[in-house]
Amino acid sequence: MDIIMPLLAIAPIVVVGILMVGFMWPSSRAMPVGLLVAAVIAVAVWQVPLAQLIAASLAGLVNAVDILLIVFGAILILQLMKKSGGMGGISSSMASVSRDRRVQVLIIAWLFGSFLEGAAGFGTPAAVAAPLLVGMGFPPFIAAVVTLVANSVAVSFGAVGVPIHGGFEALRDVVSLPESVSFSAFLHDISVQVAMLHLVLGIFMPLIVVCLMTAIAEGSIKKGREIWPLALFAGAVFTIPQLLIAVLTGPELPALLGALIGLPIFLFALSKGFLLPRKDWNFPEKSSWPSYWEGKIKAGTGAPDDRRDMSGWMAWLPYILVGLLLLITRLEQINLSSWLQQWNPGWDNILGTGISVDISPLYNPGIIPFALLALCIPLMQKMKWQEAFGAVKKTGSMVGSATVALVSALLMVYIMMNSGGTDGREGMLLVVARAASDIAGANWYFLAPLVGALGTFISGSNTVSNIMFGVLQHNTAVQSGLLVQPVLALQAVGGAAGNMICVHNVVAVLTTVGLLGKEGLVIRNNALIGAGYAFFAGVLVWIAVKFF
């Protein structure tokens, strides 16, 4: 019976994994099935009263709406920028810097992709950067592979920190904190540890990206290795500011401002010839390309569809304002954050079950600055209102598919989290955590990031991975006597690593470059890098905890 209960408790997550990985179901279909399995097991095996089941679902629904406001706002700004020509202006301002393909991939896939991740997340970077690289002449297959690998280090802080402050929201009523420590301070601490891990490991990611590209193109990493000083410099100009901003502000701004700081530094250095390779490197002649490198879209013909002339300054202005407004509203020294959080409507003791939930709408980035700036962009960039409405419609269709997955995932986790009884009966996630701690013990530091990577792989989102496994990771750490914050940091870092191979992103990027059907090849190329990144994060934390 001891093994049966943990297996039943983890069954909803296993079912989701089987449906998505084994049967290639999208998360929008698999997550509702996982939710149904969780509800059935909670009622039939854990004997959860109907009122408690409904209350847990309502709490999960409220938090899902809070997260979806951010997702909608982030994607809406991106769509407005595409319609206005702003995204084309941003792309043009970077694509003309160098003809060396290694340098171009550092600018577009690494730094520009990290900026897009910080601003919008949810698969946006690869879906935007890969077609841009194809338009510049990159083989579509290589463009897809390198943008997916590059879109990793920034993911933990993607979409203005949603994976941290949204993904770990379910922990608010679980974690035990001293009265002097707020939940936001707890998340701040996790953010700093996540950024530290990404600094140590992520500084090498641009070099890995370049070597991967030359290995696919020529069968050797030699040409990629030649520019290792420039690649490490590209890693440093992003990961160091990302850490500093995480220390200063918390989870919302590290990726966004880190990229906004790192990108101009890198471009300025290139303009001065700093560390530039002496000889440009290019792909082999197109006639020698393997058939799987190209599909419906040919290299050199995938440029952005907006053709308006727009200055680089005006193109970048909306995202510069996003960064400034987020900085102003998050810095504690300015004291706006406490004022914005004063209005926090909630629902205490839902249906008399003791389950409560509240949100802070004005502090939600989806309202300020996203919704605020979305109203201004049509005027700033001289859009027609028909185009603006078209952007809203496009955003709605994109968020619609994500809504089902996010809502179902949150409801599933909240049901599992609140399945315990007043008679002392342990909830489903606590049962799983106890079994995991019995098996792994102190070695959980090695497994925690791999669990995070698995969550992103099967769900398509670091945020959903943190929602699914955040409480489980917390409970396992407590049961094993491990430090909670490092384990949760490993969950977030592992989730970012899993972004390289998650089915959702792979399908999305291959669709944009006309290679749908090559998912297996892409995942095979990226899997070892993603798993290695997650594993070495665990090794670093184990060493830090054991010896320091």
pLDDT digits (tens, 9 = 90+) for 404-427: 877 888 898 889 878 887 667 788
449 neighbors 497 (Cβ within 8 angstroms): yes
Asked, for residue 292, whether it belongs to a domain, the answer is no
Alpha helices in 418-518 (DSSP H): 428-440, 444-459, 462-480, 484-498, 503-512
Which structure tokens are listed for 111? 């730094």
Q: Of 351 and 305, which is predicted with more confidence?
A: 351
pLDDT surpassing 80 at residue 516: no
For 238-251, the pLDDT digits (tens) are 999 999 999 998 89
What's the pLDDT band for 303 if we cut at 50, 70, 90?
A: very low
- Rounded-to-integer distance, Cα 443 and Cα 449, Å: 12
Residues β-bridged to residue 432: none
- Rounded-to-integer distance, Cα 275 and Cα 277, Å: 6
The region, left, alpha or beta by phi > 0 then psi within -120 to 50, assigned to residue 250 is left
Please, which residues have CB within 8 angstroms of residue 17's CB and are 6 or more apart in sequence? 454, 458
- Rounded-to-integer distance, Cα 358 and Cα 50, Å: 22
**Residue in this structure with the two tokens 């419906």, named with its chain if needed:** 296
What's the pLDDT band for 259 if we cut at 50, 70, 90?
A: very high
Torsion of CA 403, 354, 361, 78, to 10 degrees: -20
The region, left, alpha or beta by phi > 0 then psi within -120 to 50, assigned to residue 257 is alpha
The arithmetic mean of pLDDT across residues 295-309, rounded, is: 58
**Residue in this structure with the two tokens 């700036």, named with its chain if needed:** 373
Which structure tokens are listed for 376? 């201004």
230 neighbors 296 (Cβ within 8 angstroms): no
Which secondary-structure segment (H or E) carries 180? Answer: none
**Residue in this structure with the two tokens 């670093």, named with its chain if needed:** 540
What's the pLDDT band for 342 if we cut at 50, 70, 90?
A: confident
Q: Which of 5-19, 98-112, 124-138, 323-337 has the lowest mean pLDDT?
A: 323-337
For 467-508, the pLDDT digits (tens) are 878 988 998 999 888 999 999 999 999 999 999 988 767 877
What's the pLDDT band for 123 if we cut at 50, 70, 90?
A: low
pLDDT number for residue 409? 81
Q: What is the 3-state secondary structure (H, E, C) of 371-437?
A: HHHHHHHHHHCCCCHHHHHHHHHHHHHHHHHHHHHHHHHHHHHHHHHCCCCCCCCCCHHHHHHHHHH
Q: Of 459 and 341, which is predicted with more confidence?
A: 341
What's the pLDDT band for 381 if we cut at 50, 70, 90?
A: confident
- Rounded-to-integer distance, Cα 88 and Cα 93, Å: 9
The arithmetic mean of pLDDT across residues 93-106, rounded, is: 83
Burial (CB < 10 A; 0-12, 13-18, 19+), residue 255, is buried
Burial (CB < 10 A; 0-12, 13-18, 19+), residue 90, is buried
At 347 the three-state DSSP class reads strand
C-alpha distance from residue 468 to each of 21, 403, 479, 491 (Å):
16, 15, 18, 11
Asked, for residue 340, whether it belongs to a domain, the answer is yes
Which structure tokens are listed for 465? 């991975």
pLDDT number for residue 144? 92
The angle, 0 to 180 degrees and rounded to 10, between the axes of the packed helices 503-512 and 519-547 is 140
Q: Of 143 and 120, which is predicted with more confidence?
A: 143
The arithmetic mean of pLDDT across residues 123-139, rounded, is: 78
Q: Of 289 and 365, which is predicted with more confidence?
A: 289
Which secondary-structure segment (H or E) carries 230? Answer: helix 228-249
At 222 the three-state DSSP class reads helix
Asked, for residue 19, whether it belongs to a domain, the answer is yes
The arithmetic mean of pLDDT across residues 271-279, rounded, is: 91
Which structure tokens are listed for 224? 């990629």
pLDDT number for residue 263? 92
Please, which residues have CB within 8 angstroms of residue 117's CB and are 6 or more apart in sequence? 124, 125, 151, 154, 155, 157, 158, 159, 255, 259
Q: Of 202 and 479, which is predicted with more confidence?
A: 202
From 112, 201, 118, select the one nearest 530 (Cα to Cα): 201
Q: Which phi and psi angles does 347 have, rounded to 5°?
A: -135, 105
The arithmetic mean of pLDDT across residues 61-65, rounded, is: 85
For residue 269, how many other CB atoms are within 10 A of its CB? 16
For 261-271, the pLDDT digits (tens) are 999 999 999 99
Query: What is the count of structural domains for the chain?
Result: 1
- Rounded-to-integer distance, Cα 113 and Cα 152, Å: 9
pLDDT surpassing 50 at residue 222: yes
pLDDT number for residue 58? 94
Please, which residues have CB within 8 angstroms of residue 163's CB and are 6 or more apart in sequence? 121, 155, 156, 157, 251, 461, 462, 463, 465, 466, 492, 495, 496
Q: Of 358 and 284, which is predicted with more confidence?
A: 284
For 132-155, the pLDDT digits (tens) are 788 778 998 999 999 999 999 999
From 418, 416, 526, select the one nearest 109 (Cα to Cα): 526
The arithmetic mean of pLDDT across residues 301-322, rounded, is: 68
What's the pLDDT band for 290 if we cut at 50, 70, 90?
A: very high
The arithmetic mean of pLDDT across residues 67-89, rounded, is: 80
Asked, for residue 289, whether it belongs to a domain, the answer is no
Which secondary-structure segment (H or E) carries 79? Answer: helix 50-84
pLDDT surpassing 80 at residue 108: yes
Percent with pLDDT over 70 in the chain? 93
Averaged pLDDT score across all residues of the chain: 86
pLDDT number for residue 68? 82
pLDDT number for residue 368? 83
- Rounded-to-integer distance, Cα 496 and Cα 371, Å: 27
Asked, for residue 454, whether it belongs to a domain, the answer is yes
Which structure tokens are listed for 145? 């592979």
Asked, for residue 539, whether it belongs to a domain, the answer is yes
Q: What are the percentages of helix, strand and coil residues in the chain, rounded to 5? A: 75, 0, 25
Q: Supply the range of the domain harboring residue 491.
A: 4-282+305-547
Q: Of 172 and 244, which is predicted with more confidence?
A: 244
The arithmetic mean of pLDDT across residues 444-469, rounded, is: 86
Q: Name, of 316-330, 340-354, 388-402, the range with top average pLDDT.
A: 340-354
pLDDT surpassing 80 at residue 458: no
C-alpha distance from residue 339 to each of 245, 335, 342, 344, 363 (Å):
21, 7, 5, 11, 9
Asked, for residue 16, whether it belongs to a domain, the answer is yes
Asked, for residue 299, whether it belongs to a domain, the answer is no
